[in-house]
Amino acid sequence: MPTHPQAKPNFRNLFWYPFKITLITALRTFPFLGRMFPKKLGMGYHNTSHPEFLDDASEHRAKGRAKYNDISNQEFAPDRVTSDLFPSLWKPQTVQYPYERLEDMEPWLFVPGNYNGRIGVIWETCTACKMCVNICPNDCLHMTTELRVDVLDNAEGEYEGYGAELEVGGYAAKFREEVTEELESFDLITAHSAPPSEWRFAQVLDLSGSTATVRWNDSGQEEVLAQSELRTADDQIVSGRIDIGRCMFCGLCMEACGFTSFFMTNEYDGMSGFTRQDLWFDANRTRVLPSVHQEAVDGELAKRATKERDKRAKKAAKAAKPEVEVVEPTPVVEEKVEVKPEPEEEKPLSKEEKKEAELLRVKERSKNIDFDILGTASADEKDDLKTIKGVGPFIEEKLNALGIFTFSQISKMTSELEDQVNEAIEFFPGRVKRDEWAKQAKELLDKGDA
């Protein structure tokens, strides 16, 4: 919070000044007194600016909020007696937060430095450690899989080059120049919507020389681009989907986060709805742009870049060690000893191999589940199950592994079958039933989306 030269706990601020404002407020009950005796009773109050209202720093700060409340066009008395409509008329002694702020209106008063509004998550620094999920007492936080660009992969300047490299089969992202102006003007206080997406994502099909062939996720079209135009992206699990109806804005998730990913925003309205489902904020709605907390993001970037730099330096030093010259031993009598071959080291599984293993486990867990009531369908009849809220790309693959391809099959799920499917795909307990997949599928069928 900005500091004002007179914001000190002295006699003037703690006793005389509140007493003076209270006395003037009492005199407002008889406003004619102030008009009849302006010099004796006015005390610089009626339709006059307070002499201590703005110092240079406060005036500069207030200009940034001129679109909400342009104080330069008004004359303010000690208790905010003017308004935008009638700059010389009195109004109640209230603050229209967040459009009027005490640090701009009366910087000499003491205001709490922190305000716990809606939760906001910076995807670029999230590591999916689940500390926020574990500490939440109301079970309102959930992890989701989102395409994002890690803070280290988008670094510039001294930290550039410490991120991951593009690889065939992975994801890439290109900055959308057309949203630059929208990003600069986006304000969480009044938007009440998801921030604009600044990246366009694609799958890398081929890398040759300095170019890359990609397939855009939004259009399915292929394009050849210079690798310098792209950034490495990943489908990272982030903490993003939040049940605002259960959240009590305690801030424990923010305190538990060790990677500066969680912040309590100053958005407090725009969080209502007519159903419980309306209070589920998807990850893109709870996302906060890195520029909002750029200083904290830069600190996290420096920490990660330093760690990666030290790691690479150790690896290079180890590789540069000179080989020790081996002296030929004196001949000795050979003695036959049966040596058992050492077991080969297991190679770490690739991402695709891990995914295939998980799908096999899903099939294994579903052996005792009776899917006859759903009917049968083939991959050729496949619907886009990701249209159902709560179903992501990997969950869709798990459902396909169970033989579930269409909205029609999901719409026929019974309560018992929903629990069995939930357990088979290892989803959050009760999530299938809570998100009402069967109901959503029926609605999609009725709309003809199937």
Domain count, the chain: 3
Average pLDDT, the chain: 76
pLDDT in tens, 232-245: 998 888 878 899 99
Q: Could you identify the residue written with the tokens 């989102």?
A: 146
Q: What is the pLDDT of residue 376?
A: 75
Closest CA to 259 of 297, 289, 233: 297
Most confident of 56-70, 313-327, 411-425, 426-440: 411-425
Q: Which of 63, 81, 105 is the last residue of a domain?
A: 105
pLDDT digits (tens, 9 = 90+) for 355-410: 777 777 777 777 777 777 777 777 777 888 778 877 777 788 877 777 788 888 88
Residue 364 in any domain: the answer is: yes
- Predicted local distance difference test score (pLDDT) of residue 47: 47
**Confidence tier at 61 by pLDDT (50, 70, 90):** low
- Tell me, rounded to whole angstroms, the distance of Cα 212 from its chain centroid: 29
Whether 180 shows a pLDDT value over 60: the answer reads yes
Give the closest residue to 242 by CA, choosing from 145, 148, 143.
143
Domain identity same for 53 and 167? no
**How confident is residue 89, by pLDDT bands cut at 50, 70 and 90?**
very low
What pLDDT, on a 0 to 100 scale, did the predictor assign at position 231? 92
Structure tokens at 256: 């538990």
Q: What is the largest CA-CA distance in the chain?
A: 123
123 and 176 in a single domain? The answer is: yes
* Distance (Å) of CA 109 to CA 2, 3, 215, 222: 11, 10, 57, 59
What is the per-residue pLDDT for 83? 46
Whole-number Å distance between alpha carbons of 256 and 234: 24
The pLDDT of residue 381 is 76
Q: Judge residue 337's burial from the number of C-beta atoms within 10 Å of its C-beta, 0-12 exposed, 13-18 middle, 19 or more buried.
A: exposed
Do 77 and 172 belong to one domain?
A: no
Q: Which two tokens stand for residue 172?
A: 């890439």
* Co-location of 132 and 263 in the same domain: yes
**Of the residues 82, 105, 128, the one at which a domain ends:** 105
pLDDT category at 259 given cuts 50, 70, 90 is confident
d(CA 150, CA 243): 25
- Residue 110, in any domain of the structure: no
* pLDDT at site 81: 47
Does a structural domain hold residue 279?
Answer: yes
The answer on pLDDT for 202 being more than 90 is yes
CA distances from 34 to 23, 94, 283 (A): 12, 22, 56
Q: How far is Cα 61 from Cα 71, in angstroms, rounded to an integer?
A: 11
80 and 162 in a common domain: no
In a domain, 124, yes or no: yes
Does 373 lie in the same domain as 443? yes
Residue 186 lies in domain = 119-299
Which band of pLDDT confidence, cut at 50, 70 and 90, is reported for residue 36? Answer: low
| DSSP letter (8 states) at residue 294 | H
Percent of the chain beyond pLDDT 70? 69
Mean pLDDT along residues 335-355:
64
Alpha carbon distance 398, 359 (integer Å)? 6
Is the distance from CB of 261 to CB of 286 less than 8 angstroms?
A: no
What are the backbone dihedrals phi and psi of residue 173, each rounded to the nearest 5 degrees, phi first?
-140, 145
Give the model's pLDDT for residue 7: 65
Together in a domain, 59 and 188: no
> Same structural domain for residues 146 and 188?
yes
Same domain? For 204 and 239 the reply is: yes
pLDDT of residue 320: 83
Residue 111 located in a structural domain = no
The predicted structure's pLDDT at residue 13: 80
Cα–Cα distances (Å) from 310 to 287, 306, 316, in that order, read 31, 6, 10
Q: Are residues 432 and 365 in the same domain?
A: yes
* Half-sphere exposure at residue 413, Cβ-oriented, CA atoms within 13 angstroms: 25
How many other β-carbons are positioned within 10 Å of the β-carbon of residue 16?
11
- Inside any domain, residue 383: yes
pLDDT at 82: 46
Q: Do residues 144 and 96 share a domain?
A: no
Distance, in Å, from the CA atom of 136 to the CA atom of 239, rounded to the nearest integer, reads 12
Of 148-162, 330-344, 422-436, which range is least confident? 330-344
CATH number of the domain where residue 196 is located: 2.30.30.140
Backbone angles phi, psi at 12, to 5 degrees: -60, -50
Of 115 and 252, the structure prediction assigns the larger pLDDT to: 252
Positive or negative, the CA dihedral 350, 227, 238, 437 is negative
Q: How do 231-243 and 280-281 pair as beta strands?
A: antiparallel
pLDDT for 136 equals: 93
Q: For residue 42, what pLDDT is reported?
A: 46
- Domain-embedded: residue 312: no
Residue bearing the bigger pLDDT, 115 or 233: 233
Same domain, 124 and 229: yes
Last residue of a domain, one of 280, 299, 318: 299
Asked if residue 339 is part of any domain, the answer here is no
Q: Contact at 8 Å (CB) between 385 and 402? A: no
Is the pLDDT at 100 greater than 80? The verdict is no
For the chain, count helices (H), then strands (E).
Answer: 17, 9
pLDDT band (50, 70, 90) for residue 88: very low
